Structure 1
Amino acid sequence: MQLESNNEESFRFLSEHFVIFENAKDFVRFDENKGWRMLLFCLDGRFQIEVNGTPYTIEPNDIAFCTPDKIAAHTMMSPDFKGYLACCSANFSKRIFPNSADLWNKVFYMNRNFKIHLSDKEAAELLEDYHFLKRKIVHIDHLYYDEVMRCLLQAFLYQTAHVLSNHIAAETAPAEEPLQSRHQICQAFIDLLSSTKPVPRSVQWYADRLCKTPRYLSTAVKRASGKTASEWIHEALTREVADALKNSAKSIKEISDELEFPNLSFFGRYCRQRLGCSPSEFRQQKNKG
């Protein structure tokens, strides 16, 4: 564990499964295998980011939530940017949160909307909780430090969910189906999807590992998130393809083989269907941009 707090602007907290940055220049690409959940809160200035190919501008009182199924790139910030970035791994999230359907409602809302704008009162309330957490997080000589920090982080993230609740319409579930169950299944599916590379394309593959039938899995995922398991899979695969074509120096044939497409012709058809052009055309467009 590393802890740096030489001044307010450079404060950072780094542990294996939880990090806080206040200097946006510390924004880095984390180990994807940990399934990081990232929460960015802007206090001043602007933070620009491209998520799954869509540009966003985060401004004061905006809060953004990025889950492992999103590819974040092209981050830029204004010289006067102030804010904080808090990230936790998938394992950490599972450990500190019970299987709360209400909490996952808020997570899926943020997953669909990426960012929301808080009122001045909501922003002040969230910032107060954050500063309390920051004051406590530096006392690493506490006899029960790990236990205290787990409770404080849990409380902080629940308080964040409480602030978000004002922006989230209540969801109701069919009486015959427990709400908690479908959110548990959906979250387990998304965790599996985000941590497996290359992306397996068969719903059966995920269903087998989650001990469900493909039909049951897809229905649960659809009711919890608004998208079927197949839609989630193809969105994740499309991002993986686009990311490889954009950022890898490998040949198109090598990328096709690495992502386990049956042949180069099938890979080309998939790109034209999902990206709107051939692999070489997509790569040329991105290089020009």
Structure 2
Amino acid sequence: MLTYKKTLDIDELIANHATVSVHKYGFFLCRQGWAKILLGAKTYNISRNHLCIYTPNTFLHILERSHDLAGILEEDDVDAYYPVVSLIDIRKRLRIRDESCVALSEREAAEIVALMDVIGDAKRPRPISAAYERHGDGTQYSRQETVPLTTIRDNYLRHLYYALCLKVLDVYFSNTPVEAVPQDRDDTVLNRFVISVHENCHRQRTVKYYADEQHLSPYYFSSIIKKRSGRAALQWIESVTMTFIRQYLRCTDMSLKEISDRMYFPDQSTFSRYFKHHEGCTPSEYRMRR
């Protein structure tokens, strides 16, 4: 089943989408606030009613945002969207990848929100129906049972999602793409670093590694990252590393040892100390809060 989000949880977006959207299609409709996002290899400034579509293997990350950023986030695996995506000419699919954001009118944005509301209502649990039977003496009693309409309801939801996808694509192709923010050399260094740290922080957590990737000295590389993002390169590395760890703790049943191994810590004890230093509690304590 597809994921439904009426109000965007920014922390969840950062945890789940500050990475490559492997085998997923999705979109984000901004309804409040503003953000500077890195989508693919391009940077966009978005605000109310900007629609951003991402395709499989597209990198998505929030570089800057207002405190009140909010909107609608929707995504699912390629197979779920294939009946709709297969209707689109391959050249148009490439356009979505190359020009990912458009500005919608208030009416177009409201129509998407209305469809999301219908889907949200359809997904809410239905009350159990009462069926009546009779005792041998003819008196009536109530027997509770689940309404046997699961298949019909699933098909209804599936077609609602198809309608949503078609609506999103319709308004996307009906509007002029938003131009990406022009990038100078320092912006390119930052964007390459952000993408690389998400791809490699499981194994590489030194500033020198990422500076060497771009053939820069660690000092000069760090100065560019600090100037362009307001955060030190090491802070980026530690923040992204912790994002992955929190996601594994909250969203998977992996053991602490499995997470430690996945993140290439030398042992579980080192992993636990690293986590507590940055989070203020042990991984086990953090997981109990979810």
TM-score under structure 1 length normalisation: 0.51
CA deviation after TM superposition for structure 1 residue 99, in Å: 2.3
Task: Tell me if the contact between 1:71 and 1:239 (Cα under 8 Å) persists in the aligned partners.
Answer: no
Q: 1:56 to 1:136 in 2, by over 3 A?
A: same
How far apart in 2 are the matches of 1:79 and 1:240? 24
Q: Which has the higher contact order (CA 8 A, sep 6+)?
A: 2
Residues 174-222 of structure 1: CA deviation (Å, up to 9, x unaligned): xxxxxxxxxxxxxxxxxxxxxxxxxxxxxxxxxxxxxxxxxxxxxxxxx
Cα deviations by residue, 1:3-39 (Å, 9 ceiling, x for unpaired): xxxxxxxxxxxx4x54435233221325858522220
SS of aligned partner of 2:102: strand
Amino acid at match of 1:112: D
Which runs of no fewer than 5 residues in structure 2 stay unpaired?
Answer: 127-146, 178-190, 227-231, 234-290
2:84 pairs with one of 97, 119, 141: 97
Distance 2:221 2:150 in 1: 54
C-alpha distance 168-45 of structure 1, shift in aligned 2 (>3 A): closer
Cα 1:246–1:165 change in 2 (3 A) is: closer
The structural deviation recorded for 1:64 is: 0.5
Q: What amino acid is the match of 1:130?
A: M
1:229 corresponding residue in structure 2: none
Secondary structure, aligned partner of 2:174? helix
Aligned to 1:112: 98
C-alpha deviation, 1:244, in angstroms:
4.2
Q: Which protein is bigger by CA-based radius of gyration?
A: 2
Q: CA deviation at 1:60?
A: 0.7
- 1:89 maps to a residue whose letter is D
Q: How far has the Cα of 1:155 moved from its partner?
A: 1.2
Counterpart-to-counterpart distance in 2, 1:61 and 1:154: 21
Q: Are positions 1:243 and 2:230 aligned together?
A: no
What code does the residue aligned with 1:116 have?
V
Q: Say yes or no: does 1:134 pair with 2:120.
A: yes
Cα drift, residue 53 of structure 1: 5.6
Within the candidate set 15, 22, 30, 1:42 is matched to 30
State the alpha-carbon separation in 1 of the partners of residues 73 and 150 from structure 2. Answer: 27
Separation in structure 1 between the aligned mates of residue 21 and residue 72 of structure 2, nearest angstrom: 23
Displacement of 1:68 in angstroms is 2.9
Q: In the TM superposition, what is the alpha-carbon distance from 1:127 to its structure 2 partner?
A: 2.3
1:281: how far off?
7.5
Partner residue, 1:9: none
Q: Indicate the RMSD between aligned Cα atoms, in angstroms.
A: 4.0
Residue in 1 that maps onto 2:172: 164
Task: Check whether the contact 1:41–1:85 (CA below 8 A) recurs between aligned residues.
Answer: yes
C-alpha separation between the residues in 2 aligned to 1:40 and 1:93?
A: 16
Corresponding position: 1:88 with 2:76: yes
Cα offsets for 1:116-157 (capped at 9, x unmatched): 101222222222222222222224675223222111111110
1:241 and 1:76 map into 2 onto residues whose CA distance is: 13
Are 1:51 and 1:70, in contact at CA under 8 Å, matched by a contact in 2? Answer: yes
Matches within 5 A, 1:274-285: 275=214, 277-278=215-216, 284=222, 285=224
Q: Which moved more, 1:147-156 or 1:132-141?
A: 132-141
SS at match of 1:250: coil
1:60 match: secondary structure: coil
Matched, 1:23 2:16: no
Matched, 1:58 2:46: yes
Code of the aligned partner of 1:153: Y
Q: Pairwise mapping of residues 135-284 of structure 1 onto structure 2 (< 5 A)? A: 135-139=121-125, 142-144=149-151, 145-167=153-175, 242-244=195-197, 248=201, 250=204, 271=213, 275=214, 277-278=215-216, 284=222
In 2, the alpha carbon distance for the partners of 1:247 and 1:77 equals 24
- The alignment-based identity, stated in percent, is 15
Q: Distance in 2 between matches of 1:80 and 1:91?
A: 33
Shift of 1:78: 2.3
Kept after mapping to 2: 8 A contact 1:122/1:163: yes
> In the aligned structure 2, how far is the partner of 1:158 from the partner of 1:109?
16
Aligned to 2:274: none
What is the distance in 2 between the residues matched to 1:70 and 1:129? 25
What are the superposed Cα offsets for residues 78-116 of structure 1, whole Å, 9 maximum, x if unpaired?
23333110011122222x3362134x5544323212211
Q: Say if 1:281 and 1:148 are closer, same or farther in 2 by CA, change over 3 A.
A: farther
Q: 1:250 to 1:283 in 2, by over 3 A?
A: farther
Distance in 1 (CA, whole Å) between partners of 2:92 and 2:32 is 25
With structure 2 as the length reference, what TM-score do the two structures score?
A: 0.51
